[in-house]
């Protein structure tokens, strides 16, 4: 692998550390009675309200439509997700250190699958909260579900709900993009090498090693 | 000199009477061209668009309402009416078990008082927005209100006092808040003839220490003074820091028909108190520990008030502490005493005086050093008027009461009889402008106008008589306040609005100093009420003898439990309602049929308790009184009352 792509992968791995200091996703609910805002901040290991007691307030509102209370303790993903992120970070650093192109492609594959699985899992929880409603709830509207959008905005009764990546999520998007760029660089390099092996060997020198 | 003053006053009165009969003009000899206000220009100055904030908070005393209304200026919006000395059923103040101790005194539970002078806490002579103090005139007390919660946090009773009027003015760094007796009485109280007034009655001036961190009050010392009426006060600042000034009238020592008998002398006194000297005397052991009995009530951090009974104060006398008290002769029956922002000039509003005397602090100190005394009263040196006076505002109008100051070197004095504000230059006592108010002006307030830092943009005039100012409402009318623009050379009338009770004084402060410090909810996790429930699982009903404690929760839109059985006629039932909400502005209310007290209004995270003694059998509803949510009308429950001795076991519905 080229120095550039090894640096890119290392930076990608390290930028994932943002997920430990910033939320991954944000869901915001806007209504006239909440000028100070109401919303959720989803971290890899916790769910918090956007304001102090925001989670309680959302749970309090949701009981009218029969939505289950959001209880972070009951969501197992929040317990193992930090280890997945640590694994992704260590994996990235390993790829950067060893510099093996094949490992990079494998890493990109795993990263992509985990990201997709995460998004699917998030959607699944949203679906569950939005559809699995108490049939005796005070407010029942035939055909109405309250699943917040995975990404973007949606009107849910008096609330306009929006869902977007937060700082940690953007860092993860940047990370996966950097790995994609590194893989592209390596893919082009490997194509060039297959056409002109000595030239590549000369450019890559000792750092990249001769492999292809 | 005394004769001269009398002649001048009489002359002015006569001139006014004549003028009044000739033309319907005031006696103000005015050059002002102001109308009663109401111009488009004025409207723009007080228009605060919907959703936008005013520039100032105004804490206006509620007078005989016993409360403290808070207005916003310049719009005149009423923001809140803070319960202080009076039971307030809307808020359950003085009715809920947690707040009842706040109204305890050595006379027992007192449901009303006459709240007079709000005073903001100060740091370095500038209002700091931490607390506002207010005095109870009738049963002498001082209250401290938090400006984080806008709730009364503490009330201390002042013993050896009667009519706590010259109160609760603070010193420059809120070291002390003060309390002086308006009505002299036998101290200690005694069963003696009223005719012994001159020999046996005394006044007291109390200095109440304020803890700089918590605001907690404690009576540091009391000074026993001759039996005059100590009317108003202000403390020194800057060069005069360390001194407090109290006006007095009735130096005649009258005990009947004071309107005549206490108006005989041409001059009464301002008592200048060197409180640093008093502190030294206390430290030197010159104070006498005197038995007394008074209450000190504190709202705890757990939102439960407790009362403590204290049994003594430290008492000083001018004789035992030389250099502590001097009398400043001041014409005539002075009411307000006000110290200008630099701390050098002391203006007095002699109700019956024909001038506004302005004493100089520097001259006062020089006179004290030079022992330039004209005599003594009860051992207290009386300084020579001519040696301490800076200047006199001549022909200011009639009935000067109170002076506030702007930040440009001007004083503004309220004129009760001529019903106007008079603006004058402090340095040379020149009258600059005058503006009528409607009617019979009492107190005036400029934000920071009694501090080292006036925000000299507006003046609030608080009048005693309303008459035809608003749509009539039968014999009883609210009082009238007028907002005046003082930013230019000429005063301009801007706004007229009614106020609650009878405002005696007010304090104003830029909104920016306090608006961002507001508590929005009480953290439920910190709720330490002995009968509070932090979750619905903690809801409970417990009988002990004929006492039943119901620990109930309230959250949109239900109570837990909401069905209770097993209560008997004659039980003492306590509903302890915890508001589980942790969202701003979601109080819940609680009321039950036949309760002999008020509703409860419970802020998020708070527990409030109401006592209920059921008098008849049946099933009685209780409900939330504060429209809390779309299903507020469903927020209700039932309590079943059975005959005495014939009730089933206690039963209630709550999650286990």
CB-CB neighbours of B458 under 10 Å: 24
Answer yes or no: do A64 and B555 touch at CB < 8 A.
Answer: no
What pLDDT, on a 0 to 100 scale, did the predictor assign at position B656?
74
Answer yes or no: do B582 and A36 touch at CB < 8 A.
Answer: no
Judged by DSSP in three states, B193 sits in: coil
Q: How many residues does chain B have?
A: 656
What pLDDT, on a 0 to 100 scale, did the predictor assign at position A183?
95
Q: What is the pLDDT of residues B630-644, one digit of tens each?
A: 899 999 999 999 999
Q: Is A56 on the interface with B (CB under 8 A)?
A: yes
The rounded distance, in Å, linking the Cα atoms of A200 and B226 is: 107
Q: Count how many pairs of residues, chain A against chain B, have C-beta atoms within 8 Å.
A: 18
Q: What is the pLDDT of residues B432-461, one digit of tens each?
A: 999 999 999 999 999 999 999 999 999 999
CB-CB neighbours of A129 under 10 Å: 18
- The mean of the pLDDT values for chain A is 90
What pLDDT, on a 0 to 100 scale, did the predictor assign at position B22?
37
The rounded distance, in Å, linking the Cα atoms of B270 and B338 is: 11
Pick from B350, B311, B343: which is nearest to B328 by CA? B350
Share of chain B above pLDDT 90, in %: 92
Residue A130 main-chain phi, psi, to 5 deg: -80, -25
Asked whether the bond before B316 is cis by omega within 30 degrees of 0, the reply is no
Q: Which residue of A has its CA nearest to B522?
A: A53
> H or E element: which one contains A198?
helix A197-208
The rounded distance, in Å, linking the Cα atoms of B169 and B337 is: 11
Contact B554, B530 (CB under 8 A): no
The rounded distance, in Å, linking the Cα atoms of A134 and A142 is: 13
Q: How many CA atoms lie within 13 A of B298 on its CB side?
A: 11
How many angstroms separate the CA of residue B631 from the nearest CA in chain A? Answer: 9
What average pLDDT score do residues B450-479 get?
97
Q: What is the pLDDT of residues B358-391, one digit of tens each?
A: 999 999 999 999 999 999 999 999 999 999 999 9
Answer yes or no: do B630 and A36 touch at CB < 8 A.
Answer: no
Q: What is the pLDDT of residues B74-93, one digit of tens each?
A: 999 999 999 999 999 999 99
The rounded distance, in Å, linking the Cα atoms of B187 and B203 is: 8
Select from B583, B630, B633 the residue whose CB has the most chain A CBs within 10 Å, as the one to mutate to test that interface. Answer: B583
Q: What is the pTM of this model?
A: 0.89
The rounded distance, in Å, linking the Cα atoms of B575 and B613 is: 11
The strand ranges marked E within B437-571 are 441-445, 458-463, 479-485, 492-499, 506-510, 540-544, 547-555, 558-560, 563-568
**Tokens matching residue B384:** 């020579």
Write the residue in B557, B582, B584 that is nearest to A56 by C-beta.
B582
Answer yes or no: do A53 and B631 touch at CB < 8 A.
Answer: no
Give yes or no for residue B2 having a pLDDT over 70. Answer: no
Q: Which residues of B touch A56 (CB under 8 A)?
A: 582-583
What pLDDT, on a 0 to 100 scale, did the predictor assign at position B83?
98
> Looking at this predicted complex, what is its ipTM?
0.77
Give yes or no for residue B587 having a pLDDT over 90. Answer: yes
The rounded distance, in Å, linking the Cα atoms of A182 and A9 is: 7
Write the residue in B555, B556, B582 that is nearest to A53 by C-beta.
B582
Q: Which residue of B has its CA nearest to A36?
A: B584
Answer yes or no: do A64 and B631 touch at CB < 8 A.
Answer: yes
Answer yes or no: do A36 and B584 touch at CB < 8 A.
Answer: yes
Give yes or no for residue B19 having a pLDDT over 70. Answer: no
What pLDDT, on a 0 to 100 scale, did the predictor assign at position B354?
92
Give yes or no for residue B23 having a pLDDT over 80. Answer: no
Which long-range contacts link A141-148 to residues 24+ away (Cβ below 8 Å)?
A146/A62, A146/A65, A146/A67, A148/A27
Contact A146, A126 (CB under 8 A): no
Q: What is the pLDDT of residues B180-214, one digit of tens each?
A: 999 999 999 999 999 999 999 999 999 999 999 99
- The mean of the pLDDT values for chain B is 93
Q: Is A36 on the interface with B (CB under 8 A)?
A: yes
Give yes or no for residue A205 having a pLDDT over 70. Answer: no
**Tokens matching residue B444:** 């005036």
What pLDDT, on a 0 to 100 scale, did the predictor assign at position A143?
85
> H or E element: which one contains A74?
none
What average pLDDT score do residues A115-127 get?
94
Q: What is the pLDDT of residues B232-254, one digit of tens each?
A: 999 999 999 999 999 999 999 99
Select from B582, B586, B631, B634 the residue whose CB has the most chain A CBs within 10 Å, as the one to mutate to test that interface. Answer: B582
What pLDDT, on a 0 to 100 scale, did the predictor assign at position B20?
40
**Tokens matching residue B567:** 């209560």
Residue B265 main-chain phi, psi, to 5 deg: -85, 150
How many angstroms separate the CA of residue B542 from the nearest CA in chain A? Answer: 28
Contact A30, A37 (CB under 8 A): yes
How many angstroms separate the CA of residue A57 from the nearest CA in chain B? Answer: 6
Reported as a pLDDT band with limits 50, 70 and 90, residue B655 is: confident
The rounded distance, in Å, linking the Cα atoms of B495 and B593 is: 44
**Tokens matching residue B594:** 């036949």
Q: What is the pLDDT of residues B400-441, one digit of tens each?
A: 999 999 999 999 999 999 999 999 999 999 999 999 999 999
With b for 16 or more beta-carbon neighbours within 10 A and e for fewer, the B197-216 pattern comes to: beebbbbbbbbbbbeeeebe
Pick from B396, B246, B249: which is nearest to B332 by CA? B249
What pLDDT, on a 0 to 100 scale, did the predictor assign at position A197?
58
What pLDDT, on a 0 to 100 scale, did the predictor assign at position B14?
40
End-to-end CA distance of chain B: 85
Answer yes or no: do B583 and A52 touch at CB < 8 A.
Answer: no
Q: Which residues of A touch B560 (CB under 8 A)?
A: none
CA angle B375, B377, B383 (to 5 degrees): 45
Q: What is the pLDDT of residues B281-335, one digit of tens each?
A: 999 999 999 999 999 999 998 999 999 999 999 999 999 999 999 999 999 999 9
Question: What is the DSSP code string of B418-476?
Answer: TTEEEEEETTT--EEEEEE-SS-EEEEE-TTTTSSS--TTEEEEEES--TTSSS--SS-
What is the β-pairing status of strands B400-405 and B410-415? antiparallel
Pick from A92, A65, A63: which is nearest to A172 by CA? A92
């Amino acid at each position: 692998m080229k120095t550039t792509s090894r640096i890119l992968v290392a930076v990608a791995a390290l930028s994932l550390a943002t997920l430990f200091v910033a939320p991954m996703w944000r869901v915001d609910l806007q209504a006239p009675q909440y000028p100070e805002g109401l919303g959720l901040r989803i971290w890899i290991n916790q769910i918090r309200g956007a304001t102090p007691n925001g989670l309680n307030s959302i749970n309090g509102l949701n009981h009218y439509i029969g939505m289950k209370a959001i209880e972070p303790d009951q969501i197992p993903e929040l317990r193992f997700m930090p280890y997945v992120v640590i694994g992704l970070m260590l994996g990235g650093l390993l790829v950067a250190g060893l510099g093996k192109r094949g490992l990079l492609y494998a890493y990109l594959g795993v990263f992509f699958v985990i990201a997709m699985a995460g998004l699917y899992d998030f959607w699944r929880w949203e679906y569950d909260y939005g559809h699995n409603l108490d049939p005796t709830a005070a407010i029942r509207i035939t055909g109405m579900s309250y699943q917040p959008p995975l990404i973007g905005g949606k009107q849910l009764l008096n609330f306009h709900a929006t869902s977007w990546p937060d700082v940690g999520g953007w860092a993860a998007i940047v990370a996966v993009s950097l790995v994609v760029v590194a893989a592209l660089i390596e893919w082009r390099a490997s194509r060039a090498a297959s056409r002109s092996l000595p030239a590549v060997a000369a450019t890559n020198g000792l750092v990249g090693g001769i492999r292809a | 000199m005394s004769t001269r003053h009398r002649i001048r006053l009489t002359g002015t009165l006569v001139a006014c009477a004549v003028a009044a009969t000739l033309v319907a003009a005031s006696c103000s000899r005015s050059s002002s061209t102001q109308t009663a206000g109401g111009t488009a220009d004025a409207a723009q100055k007080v228009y605060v668009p919907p959703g936008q904030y005013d520039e100032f908070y105004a804490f206006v005393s509620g007078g005989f309402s016993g409360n403290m209304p808070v207005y916003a200026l310049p719009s005149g919006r009423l923001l809140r009416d803070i319960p202080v000395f009076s039971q307030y059923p809307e808020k359950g103040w003085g009715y809920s078990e947690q707040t009842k101790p706040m109204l305890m005194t050595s006379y027992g539970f007192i449901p009303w008082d006459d709240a007079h002078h709000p005073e903001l806490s100060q740091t370095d002579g500038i209002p700091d927005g931490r607390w506002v103090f207010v005095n109870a005139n009738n049963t002498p007390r001082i209250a401290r209100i938090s400006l984080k919660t806008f709730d009364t946090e503490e009330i201390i009773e002042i013993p050896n006092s009667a009519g706590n009027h010259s109160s609760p003015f603070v010193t420059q760094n809120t070291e002390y808040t003060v309390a002086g007796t308006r009505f002299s009485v036998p101290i200690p109280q005694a069963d003696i003839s009223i005719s012994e007034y001159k020999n046996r009655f005394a006044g007291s001036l109390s200095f109440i220490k304020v803890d700089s961190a918590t605001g907690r009050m404690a009576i540091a010392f009391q000074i026993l003074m001759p039996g005059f009426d100590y009317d108003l006060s202000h403390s020194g600042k800057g060069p005069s820091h360390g001194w407090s000034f109290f006006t007095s009238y009735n130096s005649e020592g009258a005990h009947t028909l004071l309107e005549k008998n206490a108006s005989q002398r041409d001059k009464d006194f301002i008592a200048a108190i060197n409180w640093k000297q008093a502190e030294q005397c206390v430290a030197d052991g010159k104070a006498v520990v005197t038995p007394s009995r008074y209450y000190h009530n504190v709202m705890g951090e757990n939102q439960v008030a407790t009362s403590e009974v204290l049994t003594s104060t430290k008492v000083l006398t001018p004789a035992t502490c030389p250099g502590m008290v001097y009398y400043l002769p001041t014409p005539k029956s002075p009411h307000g005493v006000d110290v200008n922002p630099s701390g050098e000039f002391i203006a007095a509003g002699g109700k019956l005086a024909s001038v506004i005397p302005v004493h100089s602090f520097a001259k006062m100190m020089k006179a004290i050093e030079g022992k330039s005394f004209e005599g003594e009263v009860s051992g207290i040196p009386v300084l020579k008027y001519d040696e301490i006076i800076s200047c006199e505002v001549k022909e200011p109008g009639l009935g000067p009461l109170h002076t506030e100051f702007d930040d440009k070197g001007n004083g503004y004095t309220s004129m009760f009889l001529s019903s106007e504000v008079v603006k004058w230059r402090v340095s040379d006592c020149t009258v600059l402008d005058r503006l009528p108010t409607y009617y019979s002006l009492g107190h005036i307030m400029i934000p920071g106008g009694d501090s080292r830092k006036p925000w000299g943009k507006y003046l609030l005039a608080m009048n005693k008589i309303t008459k035809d100012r608003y749509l009539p409402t039968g014999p009883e009318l609210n009082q009238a306040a007028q907002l005046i623009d003082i930013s230019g050379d000429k005063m301009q009338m801007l706004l007229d609005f009614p106020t609650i009770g009878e405002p005696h004084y007010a304090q104003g402060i830029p909104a920016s100093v306090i608006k961002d410090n507001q508590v929005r909810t009480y953290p439920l996790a910190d709720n330490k009420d002995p009968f509070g429930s932090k979750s619905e699982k903690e809801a409970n009903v417990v009988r002990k003898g004929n006492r039943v404690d119901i620990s109930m929760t309230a959250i949109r839109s239900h109570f837990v439990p909401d069905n209770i059985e097993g209560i008997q006629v004659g039980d003492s039932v306590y509903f302890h309602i915890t508001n589980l909400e942790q969202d701003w502005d979601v109080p819940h209310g609680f009321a039950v049929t036949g309760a002999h007290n008020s509703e409860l209004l419970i802020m998020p995270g708070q527990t409030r308790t109401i006592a209920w003694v059921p008098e008849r059998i049946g099933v009685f509803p209780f409900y939330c009184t504060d429209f809390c949510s779309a299903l507020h009308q469903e927020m209700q429950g039932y309590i079943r009352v059975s005959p005495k001795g014939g009730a089933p076991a206690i039963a209630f519905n709550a999650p286990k």
